[in-house]
Structure 1
C-alpha cells in the first residue's frame, strides 16, 4: 500500500491543539479574497493533543462558545459557523463513521451543495474541512456503493467526485484540511484541494489506486502534485 506518513516537525515546532483554528483565524482576518501564493503543510501534531483540540469535551464551554447556535446537521455532513473572535470561519465536518468517511453519492452531493452555498456567502472568510470521526479523515470513494453501480453509473460518479474537489480548490477563500488518521485516494485528493493541510501525528496519506496501476479519479494528483514533498 502506497501510504506516506505525515510530515515530521519542522522549523515551526510543535503545533498547539488549536493550530488549525488559529491558522483559520489568521486567514479570516486577511480578508475573504486572500489566497495563498502556493501551498503550505503544517508539521504533525500529537494525536492526543489533536483530539483534545478538536473534540468538544464535557464542560468545554470555551470551545462550545465558539460555535453559533445555527449548526446545520445532516447524517453525513455537519456545517458549523464559528462565532465571536472566530466569526467568518466555517467548519465542514464529515460524519460517516460506519463507512470510514468514504465518499458516497449522498456525501458528494451534500459537500457540493455546501460549497456552492459558501462560495457566494460574503461573510465566510475561511473554511476548515475535517472529520467528525476520530482516527479517520476520509478513506476515499465508497467502494461498496460503487460495486453495486452499473458500468454506466461509474463514470458520472467519478465525474461528480472530481467536480466537487475542483469546487473546493476554486473557492475564493482560504481552505484548510485538518487531517486525523487515514486520508486515502479521494480523501487525500480532498485534502490536496485545500490551500493548507494540518495533520495529526496519526495521519497517514496515500493514493492506493497506484497499486492497481490506475490514476486517482479526483484529478488533484495531476493538478496539485507539487504539494506533495519528498
Structure 2
C-alpha cells in the first residue's frame, strides 16, 4: 500500500531534502555498532534501523525524544524506513522497539491536535490511519519489543504487531487511555483491540481508559509475553525465529485472511472517519480539555 495523502507528500519532501537534517541523513548507511561484518544501519532523525541481512531481520528503534510522540514527521519517517525494509528481499521480519529510556511511545502528539486548523487535523488523522494500516497489513513478521510505557498511540503501534513482548517493569504500562483525555478511540482501533483481548475486556479497557502493568497486560492478553528487561531483545529475536520458520507465502496469506475484514472496514469508511475526527477534535470543549492537559504536562516538566 502506497503512502497516502499528506504522508506521501511529506515523505517525498523528506527524501529530497534529507541533506538539510542535522545528524544522520535519511537513508545514509552507518557502521553497525560493534560490527565488523559489513552490516550497516541507516537512520533518519527519528528512527534508527539496525539490519541483520544474514538473519533476515531488522530492528527499528524509535528515537524521537523525549517520549516518541507520533508527530507527522515521526510517522512519515517511520513509514519510509518500514517501506525500505519491505522492498528489500533480504528482510522478512522487523523488531520494533524504543531508543528512548523508559518510553516505547507516549502516543499521539497532542500539539498536532491543539490550536490547529481543520485541514491540519485531517492531514494528521490520515497519517495515523496510514501508520496503522501499513503496520497491520505488513507482509513482514512484526514483533514489538516494548521497553517502556506504551499508552494510546504507542499501544496502537504495538497492537498491529504479530507478537508483543513486554519488559517486566511495573512502570511499563500499556493500554488505550484516550477517554481519560476526553478522546474516543476510533472504531478500527477498537476492532483491533476486540480481536486481541475480546469484547467484554475491551469494553472495560476502552471506557475506563485502562493502562495495564505487565502482569495484568499478560493476563488480559494485550501482550503475549512478559520477560525481564535484560532478556527483552533476545526473547524478541527468539520469537522472530519461530515465526520465520514458517514459509512466508503461507504465513502472509493467512495473516491477510485473518486481518482483511478489520482493515477493509477502515478502508471503506476512511474519509468519513477523517471527517468525524476533525469534527470531534475541533469542538471547543475538546480543545479546552487538551489545552488543560498540555498545560499540566508543561508544569510537570518545569
- TM superposition score category, shorter chain reference: 0.5 to 0.7
The alpha-carbon deviation at position 119 of structure 1 amounts to 2.1
Map residues 1-230 of structure 1 onto 2, 5 A cutoff.
64-65=34-35, 69-84=39-54, 87-98=55-66, 100-202=67-169, 203-212=172-181, 214-217=183-186, 219-228=188-197, 230=220
Larger radius of gyration: 2
The alpha-carbon deviation at position 68 of structure 1 amounts to 5.3
Which protein is richer in helix relative to its size?
A: 2
- Give the 3-state SS of the residue equivalent to 1:149 in structure 2: coil
> Deviations along 1:54-108, whole A, 9 cap, x unmatched?
xxxxxxxxx8449854211222111110255xx210111110122x111011111
- Deviating 4+ runs (over 3 angstroms): 63-69
**Number of residues of Structure 1 aligned to a counterpart in Structure 2:** 165
The alpha-carbon deviation at position 195 of structure 1 amounts to 0.3
- CA spacing shift, 1:208–1:113, aligned 2, 3 Å: same
Which protein is richer in strand relative to its size?
A: 1
Indicate conservation of the 8 Å contact 2:145/2:164, yes or no.
yes
Paired with 2:49 and 2:163, the residues of 1 have a C-alpha distance of 19
Paired with 2:124 and 2:153, the residues of 1 have a C-alpha distance of 12
Indicate conservation of the 8 Å contact 1:68/1:83, yes or no.
no
- Give the 3-state SS of the residue equivalent to 1:219 in structure 2: helix
Q: What TM-score results when the alignment is normalised by the length of structure 2?
A: 0.50
The alpha-carbon deviation at position 218 of structure 1 amounts to 8.7
- CA spacing shift, 1:66–1:178, aligned 2, 3 Å: farther
The alpha-carbon deviation at position 145 of structure 1 amounts to 3.4
Give 5+ residue unaligned stretches, structure 1: 1-62
Indicate conservation of the 8 Å contact 2:58/2:94, yes or no.
yes
